[in-house]
Homo-oligomer: A and B are copies of this chain.
Amino acid sequence: MNHYCYFNGQILPEDAIRFQINDLGILRGYSVFDYLRTYNFTPFLLQDYLIRFENSVKSIDLSLPISKEEIAEKIDELLFWRADKTQDVGIRLLMTGGYSENGFNAPENPNFLIRIEDLRPKPSTDYEQGVKVITHQYQRELPEIKTTNYSRALIIQKAMQVQKAVDALYHLDGNISECTRNNFFLFKGNTLVTPKNNILRGITRKTVLELASNKFQVEERDIYLEELKEATEAFKTGTNTRVLPVIQIDELKINKKQVGPNTKALMQMFADFAHESTLMD
């Protein structure tokens, strides 16, 4: 669907928006983004996402052209203008370094886009049956910032398809960090473990850790590949993914390829929280 977007001060239909080729995002990968979604037609954990986006912007030495409060207002306006108000949507924030005269020096004005996107839910069978991931030696640059640099994830897309995997789990010399666009968790019995370092500070991750701490022991620490053998359950999280069970990693089968009870409990707890917290807004 061709939603409206906010672009540098204007509300425009998406297909009216174009980037000139001297944009530093295109020429130099100098850009950051964030992505949130609505539940009950209301942005979920908006303040968390806005704070993270502002941090990403500052981390590449740019600054927001409008305040976080104004961004929230523009999002409301875009949600008001969307054609189909019966569907929840994704909301992408994107800032590039702007149009550079010489293709390198950052100009005064960045390009700032807010884009409403159709949600692209994963098949419900993925949640019911769990998914396979492969492992891949790689560490994202600047992992705590959401730069647009996801080229490795796209480069290994075909390898994932060939191996019937939906994602790759990155590790550096065996030290696990994250999936291509998701955080990773495992259970060892009733202890929930997730990598602490070199990861995106996922907001779904944070929410899951908070919810889990009421019911499970929680550990944030280094995890090495060999520890995967001891996992009794595994899952990955993300804004679009929510809580998605992982039942195979390369050739290693987790819990005999059955979605485990603790993962199911967290899936439900997260769904309930997302629903209730947006109803309250």
Contact = CB atoms under 8 A, between A and B. Distances in A.
A14 interface: yes
Interface string A1-37: 0000100000000110111110111111111010000
Interface stretch (A75-83, A154-162, A194-202, A255-263): A154-162
Contacts of A94: 21, 26-27
Interface in A189-215: none
A157 B106 contact: yes
A19 B157 CA distance: 23
A154 B26 contact: no
A26 B94 CA distance: 9
Contact of A149 (B97, B149, B154): B149
Given A60-B151, A105-B157, A148-B26, A14 B19 contact: no
B148 A29 contact: yes
Interface of A: 5, 14-15, 17-21, 23-31, 33, 59-61, 92, 94, 96-97, 102-106, 113, 115, 117, 120, 141-142, 147-155, 157-158, 181
